[in-house]
Amino acid sequence: MTYVTKLADGPTELDRVWNLRPKYYELFMTDYHRSLERLDPVLIEVCRLWMATLLGSKLDLSLRYKAAVAAGLSEAKVNDLANYAKSPLFTQQEKVCLDFAEQFVIQSSNITDDDVKRLSGVLSWENVIYFVKALNALEQLSRSSTVFDIQPSDVVPSTMTKHFQVAPSSAH
């Protein structure tokens, strides 16, 4: 149960917490979805789930990005995220982006020119910009879900139904 004691109406804890500021919730989630849509769905989903793992976001770990699943993301790959650096299930591009996403979560102020150069070796410069923008949105939702102890639900939050589905029950 969330730490937030005064809640708005909604089908999930995320909805009940964020609907305390409905205009902000709508604006943020619109930006969140646009940020995801600009990038390869499997790439951004593995980064989203890795960031959620590092941040302890139970809500994020309970959801799957529909476009990534449709593009072939398997639960076997999701379950191997902790070993991505050595796993044959991850492409070189995914490994570089996961490294960058991890550094972004842990200490973004320590990201160096070399880190960005490595990222630009696997993404176009335009996609580097979109990727960093997406990481920011992903981190905001994951951190707030962790801070407010927002729990998963058996339904997708109302602002996420177009893009997300509940993960298989064995995943959370």
Q: What is the pLDDT of residues 8-45, one digit of tens each?
A: 999 999 999 999 999 999 999 999 999 999 999 999 99
Q: Which of 87, 82, 65, 56 is nearest to 134 (CA)?
A: 65
Q: How far apart are CA 164 and CA 150, in angstroms?
A: 17
What was the pLDDT predicted at 111?
A: 93
7 domain-assigned? no
What was the pLDDT predicted at 6?
A: 86
Half-sphere exposure (Cβ direction) of 51: Cα atoms closer than 13 Å: 29
64 domain-assigned? yes
User: Where residue 5 falls among pLDDT bands split at 50, 70, 90?
Assistant: confident
5 domain-assigned? no
Buried b (16+ CB within 10 A) or exposed e, 118-143: ebeebbeeebbebbbebbebbbebbb
Q: What is the mean pLDDT of the chain?
A: 95
User: Where residue 169 falls among pLDDT bands split at 50, 70, 90?
Assistant: confident
Q: What is the mean pLDDT of residues 106-126?
A: 95
Q: Report the DSSP pairing between strands 164-166 and 63-65.
A: antiparallel
Q: What is the CATH number of the domain that holds 39?
A: 1.20.1290.10
Check whether 137 has a pLDDT greater than 80: yes
171 domain-assigned? no
| Domain residue limits at 20 | 13-165
Q: Which of 27, 47, 61 is nearest to 96 (CA)?
A: 47
Q: How far apart are CA 166 and CA 114, in angstroms?
A: 37
User: Where residue 170 falls among pLDDT bands split at 50, 70, 90?
Assistant: low
Q: Domains in the chain: how many in total?
A: 1
146 domain-assigned? yes
How much of the chain, in percent, has pLDDT values that exceed 90? Answer: 92
Q: How far apart are CA 32 and CA 160, in angstroms?
A: 10
User: Where residue 93 falls among pLDDT bands split at 50, 70, 90?
Assistant: very high
Residue showing tokens 């298989």: 168
Check whether 171 has a pLDDT greater than 90: no
113 domain-assigned? yes
154 domain-assigned? yes
Q: Which of 2, 1, 145, 134 is nearest to 60 (CA)?
A: 145
Q: How far apart are CA 4 and CA 8, in angstroms?
A: 10
2 domain-assigned? no
Check whether 3 has a pLDDT greater than 80: no
